[in-house]
């Protein structure tokens, strides 16, 4: 016996319930035409992930329920097809939930199995992630958490959901459910022959491999084959990378879908005739569109594709037709320009060079060379006169005071004003170029180069930015224009060019050292003593720890940017601004 399954690895828009429904209907239509028996959508596909406080609005939950109803009605058109759809479900509608307190979460994180205008089963997520970027306990009730007021008999009923499709019993799980052993074991105890896991799992470098490793444990513990159905797309700071996959009961990889792109991905589950209990996936050759290949999951291609997808989706999903950025002849703006062109195409990107008295001639030369290679619209607007006018206007006030960062920041702010004026007049989104090392150290000007709506490099350390640029230049035309970044932009010493002869290293430790200290502090929460013991000079460690602490205020006012690491500034990093702790 075989079961033909289609994994709908698709890109929803958070909150666009009608658009997501239309996408689901088109996918179901196609799955039906291909004679699949089951089409599986990702976690919360109908509303998108993460819809955050939209879940507190009853009308939003009602609209999701109406969309689900429409899908249920539409399913009459697809005889023989089952649809597994991820959606929120208002707790009020979910008997026997005793909802007697306003403090209870508003919804369940659910999947429903639909066929021929009927809901055959609804499964509600048991394990709710509430760490890192996740706040699921803020929004969702868990189907196994006693403290939330569930009646004991309801726990038994809701804990495992096993559905029978064409004689194959599938245990349903939602994302975090599969990161702990119990829900899969409960599904097995309830008679599952295979597991279907629907997911919205934000990208971090190495996460595709980590998922495969963790899900292999679930397969081995239960002795069941499984499919991991994943979302794709950018949502503010989160990137969902696709890479859906299927594992045999021994945890062995059958196939993995491509990353960072939408696909309707076919799989076939076979029930052995000798032992009607045992299921396995059909031969990999028959099902995999792209081989499971460790080399294709190396860091730089993953990072580049994540940045490109995040930028494209942020721009498009927020209704912008084009982007602009300040191009300085330095590495960060060059990298952001290359990402933007790969994401949107050269005709949707505008670069503006704004020379000041401190701009080196090679900055102009390299900027011109880069835009020549990429073919984007390019303008040069001098800030020399405006800078002089500002200084003249302030001369009486500043009398007797030496020039300092005030004048440096004036230049960055003039550029910010110019770029925002171009954004207002022509409607493009301004991309900001700060990298993670700068964002950590506050090495940027508030209302100056921090102007902008999206920061592609926000989670890219400066030392990684060099590597990323070299890697992108080495790719030929695999991702767009070959060799987009002139070599000298990568090799020259970084400088803000805001005063004569300035380099970043006048104010900051060498980037290799800075980034190593930041990784220990941010990603491993190490103390000052531990970092010093790791071999870094005390004065440098103190400088980094202090700058990291005192610049929280800047980060709270900074644009979002895509998460790549275990800890991005944003949802992952919640420090008080007013902070008296010096430990």
Ligand X SMILES: NC(=O)CC[C@H](N)C(=O)O
Ligand Y SMILES: Nc1ncnc2c1ncn2[C@@H]1O[C@H](COP(=O)(O)OP(=O)(O)OP(=O)(O)O)[C@@H](O)[C@H]1O
Ligand Z SMILES: Nc1ncnc2c1ncn2[C@@H]1O[C@H](COP(=O)(O)OP(=O)(O)OC[C@H]2O[C@@H]([n+]3cccc(C(=O)O)c3)[C@H](O)[C@@H]2O)[C@@H](O)[C@H]1O
CB of 520 to ligand Z, least distance (A): 23
Contact 172, 161 (CB under 8 A): yes
The only residue of 179, 314, 358, 378 in contact with ligand X, by rule CB under 6 A: 179
Which residue of 225, 258, 442, 570 would you call a contact of ligand Z, by CB under 6 A? 442
Query: Is 125 part of the annotated catalytic residue set?
Result: yes
Q: How many CB atoms lie within 10 A of CB 42?
A: 31
Q: Which of 409, 432, 463, 565 binds ligand Z (CB under 6 A)?
A: 409
Asked whether 109 and 85 are in contact (CB, 8 A), the reply is no
From the CB of 312, what's the least distance to ligand Y, in Å?
Answer: 20
412 binds ligand Z (CB under 6 A): yes
Kindly tell me which of 263 and 469 has the beta carbon lying closer to ligand Z.
469
Give the integer Cα–Cα distance in Å for 70 and 47.
14
Residue 359 binds which entry of ligand Z, ligand X, ligand Y, none, CB below 5-8 Å type-dependent: ligand Y
Give the tokens for residue 379.
Answer: 């303008």
Question: From the candidates 64, 175, 279, 451, which is the catalytic residue?
Answer: 175
Q: What is d(CA 492, CA 471) in angstroms, rounded to the nearest whole number?
A: 17
Residue 276 contact, options ligand X, ligand Y, ligand Z, none, Cβ 5-8 Å cut-off depending on partner type: none
436 is catalytic: no
Residue 236 and residue 464: Cα distance in Å, rounded?
22
Is the C-alpha dihedral spanning 210, 211, 212, 218 positive or negative? positive
For residue 518, give the 3-state DSSP assignment. helix
Min CB(417)–ligand X separation in Å: 40
Q: Decide if 39 contacts 196 (C-beta within 8 A).
A: no
Shortest distance, position 449 Cβ to ligand Y, whole Å? 4
The rounded distance, in Å, linking the Cα atoms of 303 and 291 is 20
Q: How far apart are CA 486 and CA 334, in angstroms?
A: 9
Residues 579/545, Cβ–Cβ less than 8 Å:
no
The answer to whether residues 91 and 141 touch, using CB atoms and an 8 Å cutoff, is yes
- Considering only residues 63, 176, 515, 572, which one is a binding residue for ligand X as defined by CB under 6 A? 176
413 touching ligand Y, by CB under 6 A: no
Paired with 122 in beta bridges are 112
x/- binding map, residues 228-247, to ligand Y, per CB under 6 A? --------------------
Which residue of the set 6, 23, 43, 317 is catalytic? 43
Of 200, 219, 325, 376, which lies in the binding site for ligand X, with binding defined by CB under 6 A?
200
Per CB under 6 A, does 509 bind ligand Z? no
> What phi and psi values does residue 85 have, to the nearest 5 degrees?
-115, 130
- Which range binds ligand Y by CB under 6 A, 22-30, 167-175, 319-327, 477-485? 319-327
Q: Does 238 bind ligand X (CB under 6 A)?
A: no
Residue 143's nearest CA partner among 97, 100, 212, 176 is 97
Check 125, 188, 348, 571 and give the catalytic one: 125
Least gap, CB of 579 to ligand Z (angstroms): 9
For 508, residues 6+ apart whose C-beta sits below 8 A from its C-beta are 437, 441, 443, 514
Task: Provide Rg for the chain, Cα atoms.
Answer: 26
Q: Which residues are annotated as a binding site?
A: 131, 201, 207, 326-333, 409, 433, 438, 554
43 binds ligand X (CB under 6 A): yes
Site for ligand Y in 427-446 (CB under 6 A): 433
The correct pick among 44, 327, 410, 441 for binding ligand Y (CB under 6 A) is 327
| Part of the chain binding ligand Z (CB under 6 A), chosen from 71-79, 465-473, 496-504, 520-528 | 496-504
Burial readout 414-424 (b: 16 or more C-beta within 10 A, e: otherwise): bbbebbeebbe
For 258, which DSSP code?
P
- Examine the residue annotation and report whether 6 is marked as an active-site residue of this protein: no
Q: Which of 247, 496, 508, 541 touches ligand Y (CB under 6 A)?
A: 496
- The per-residue b/e assignment along 459-488, b for 16 or more CB within 10 angstroms, e otherwise, is bbbbbbbbebbebbbeeeeebbeeebbbee
Part of the chain binding ligand Y (CB under 6 A), chosen from 3-11, 37-45, 258-266, 322-330: 322-330
The contact set with ligand X (CB under 6 A) reads 43, 129, 175-176, 179, 200-202
Q: Tell me which residues are annotated as active site.
A: 43, 125, 175
Site residues (vs ligand Z, CB under 6 A): 405, 408-409, 412, 438, 442-446, 448-449, 496, 498, 504, 507, 553, 577
Q: Which residues bind ligand Y (CB under 6 A)?
A: 325-328, 330-333, 352-355, 359, 415, 433, 449, 494-497, 504
């Amino acid at each position: 016996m075989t079961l033909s399954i289609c994994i709908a690895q698709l890109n929803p828009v958070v909150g666009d319930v009608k658009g997501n429904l239309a996408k689901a209907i088109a996918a179901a239509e196609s799955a039906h035409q291909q004679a699949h028996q089951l089409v599986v959508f990702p976690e919360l596909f109908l509303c998108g992930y993460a819809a955050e406080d939209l879940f507190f609005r009853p009308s939003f939950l009602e609209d999701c329920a109406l969309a689900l109803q429409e899908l249920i009605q539409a399913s009459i058109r697809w005889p023989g097809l089952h649809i597994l759809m991820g959606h929120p479900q208002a707790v009020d509608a979910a008997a026997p939930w005793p909802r007697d307190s306003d403090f209870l979460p508003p919804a369940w994180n659910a999947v429903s199995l639909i066929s021929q205008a009927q809901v055959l089963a609804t499964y509600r997520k048991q394990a709710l992630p509430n760490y890192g970027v996740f706040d699921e306990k803020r929004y969702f009730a868990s189907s196994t958490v006693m403290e939330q007021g569930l009646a004991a008999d309801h726990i038994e009923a809701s804990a495992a959901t096993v559905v029978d499709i064409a004689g194959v019993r599938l245990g349903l799980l939602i994302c975090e459910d599969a990161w702990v052993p119990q829900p899969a074991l409960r599904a097995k105890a309830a008679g599952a022959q295979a597991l279907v896991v629907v997911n919205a799992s934000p990208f971090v470098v190495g996460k595709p491999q980590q998922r495969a490793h963790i899900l292999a444990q679930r397969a081995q513990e239960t002795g069941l084959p499984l499919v991991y159905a994943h979302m794709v797309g950018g949502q503010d700071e989160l990137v969902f990378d696709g890479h859906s996959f299927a594992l045999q009961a021994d945890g062995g990889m059958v196939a993995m879908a491509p990353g960072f792109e939408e696909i309707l991905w076919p799989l076939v589950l076979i029930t052995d005739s000798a032992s009607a209990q045992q299921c396995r996936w059909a031969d990999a050759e028959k099902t995999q569109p792209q081989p499971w290949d460790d080399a294709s999951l190396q860091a730089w291609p993953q990072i580049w594709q994540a940045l490109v997808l995040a930028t494209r989706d942020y721009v498009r999903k927020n209704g912008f037709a084009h982007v602009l950025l300040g191009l300085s002849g330095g590495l960060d703006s060059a990298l952001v320009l290359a990402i933007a062109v790969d994401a949107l195409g050269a005709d949707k990107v505008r670069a503006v060079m704004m020379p000041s008295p401190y701009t080196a001639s090679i900055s102009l030369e390299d900027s011109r060379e880069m835009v020549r290679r990429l073919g984007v619209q390019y303008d040069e607007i001098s800030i020399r006169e405006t800078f002089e006018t500002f200084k003249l206007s302030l001369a009486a006030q500043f009398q007797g005071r030496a020039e300092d960062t005030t004048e440096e920041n004036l230049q960055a702010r003039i550029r910010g004003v110019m770029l925002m004026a171009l954004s207002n007049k022509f409607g493009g989104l301004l991309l900001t170029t700060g990298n993670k090392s700068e964002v950590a150290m506050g090495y940027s000007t508030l209302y100056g180069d921090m102007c902008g709506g999206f920061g592609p490099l926000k989670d890219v350390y400066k030392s990684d930015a060099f590597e990323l640029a070299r890697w992108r230049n080495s790719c030929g035309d695999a991702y767009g224009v070959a060799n987009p970044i002139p070599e000298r932009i990568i090799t020259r010493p970084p400088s803000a060019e805001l005063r004569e002869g300035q380099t970043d290293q006048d104010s900051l430790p060498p980037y290799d050292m800075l980034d190593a200290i930041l990784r220990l502090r941010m990603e491993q929460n190490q103390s000052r003593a531990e970092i010093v013991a790791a071999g870094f000079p005390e004065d440098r460690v103190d400088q980094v720890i202090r700058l990291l602490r005192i610049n929280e205020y800047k980060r709270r006012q900074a644009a979002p940017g895509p998460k790549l690491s275990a800890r991005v500034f944003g949802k992952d990093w919640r420090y008080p601004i007013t902070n008296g702790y010096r430990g």
